[in-house]
């Protein structure tokens, strides 16, 4: 399973990238706004750092302007994936941009029907939002599983990019279900290394070596 980092924090991306934990990045105007920097400048810097896809989101809602914005974003670097919303206009933009050879990430997916439409429109990635479905007492992980079944049934090439990841357990569950990609904030990815028994074992180990006076350096 590929790991995308959901942030525009360049130092945080660099730290994970140096460890081999970054297969791509997802950004949006809201994330970049938090950095206080120009959206094109930040996107260009991330693209130069990461070899995998970098999702850059359009700001328009009508198809023609989304297409124009998508073409501009795609010129930033070869690894740009233009992110468009899962609306009818978004699907029109997806079809045009993907037909021109651009990677397209169709975001804000909340149903299997939407995922089918995105695949037929040529989406490179479909982004179902797990956490936001859980927030309204629907099963976000079940949606990932259902899309996996449908895509496998018909051989769709669109990759399932599980988004709105809130916990390390979400990541493990997505891996078991068969999501192609997850995108999560750096803190959630780093939390995967934590376990109470690891902490307990390390504490006992440190006490033992201190008691024995063991030193290596």
* Residues carrying an active site annotation: 83
> What tokens does 112 get?
């299997």
62's torsion region: left (phi>0), alpha (psi -120 to 50) or beta? beta
Count of CB atoms within 10 A of residue 61's CB?
12
3-state secondary structure (DSSP) of residue 202 = helix
> What tokens does 204 get?
């006992």
Whether the CB-CB separation of 72 and 80 falls below 8 Å is answered with: no
What value, to the nearest 5°, has the Cα angle with vertex 165 and ends 187 and 118?
A: 135
Per-residue exposure over 96-116, b if at least 16 CB sit within 10 Å of its own CB, e if not? bbbeeebbbbbbbbbebebbb
3-state secondary structure (DSSP) of residue 36 = coil
Segments in 155-195 forming alpha helices (H): 168-177, 186-191
H/E stretch holding 107 reads: strand 103-109
> What tokens does 166 get?
């809130």
């Amino acid at each position: 399973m590929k790991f995308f980092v959901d942030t525009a924090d360049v130092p945080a991306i660099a730290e994970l990238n140096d460890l081999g934990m970054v297969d791509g990045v997802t950004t949006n105007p809201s994330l970049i706004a938090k950095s206080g920097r120009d959206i094109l400048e930040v996107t260009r810097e991330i693209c130069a750092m990461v070899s995998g896809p970098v999702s850059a989101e359009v700001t328009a809602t009508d198809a023609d302007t989304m297409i124009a914005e998508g073409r501009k974003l795609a010129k930033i670097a070869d690894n740009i994936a233009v992110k468009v919303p899962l609306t009818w206009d978004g699907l029109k933009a997806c079809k045009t941009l993907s037909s021109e050879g651009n990677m397209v990430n169709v975001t804000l997916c909340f149903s299997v029907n939407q995922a089918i439409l995105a695949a037929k429109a040529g989406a490179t990635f479909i982004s179902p939002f797990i956490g936001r479905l859980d927030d309204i007492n629907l099963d976000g992980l079940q949606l990932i599983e259902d899309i996996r079944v449908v895509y496998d049934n018909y051989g769709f090439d669109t990759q399932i990019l599980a988004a709105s990841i809130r916990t390390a357990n979400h990541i493990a569950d997505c891996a078991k279900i068969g999501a192609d990609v997850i995108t999560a904030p750096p803190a959630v990815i780093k939390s995967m290394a934590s376990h109470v028994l690891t902490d307990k074992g390390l504490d006992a180990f440190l006490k033992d070596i201190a008691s024995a006076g063991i030193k290596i350096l």
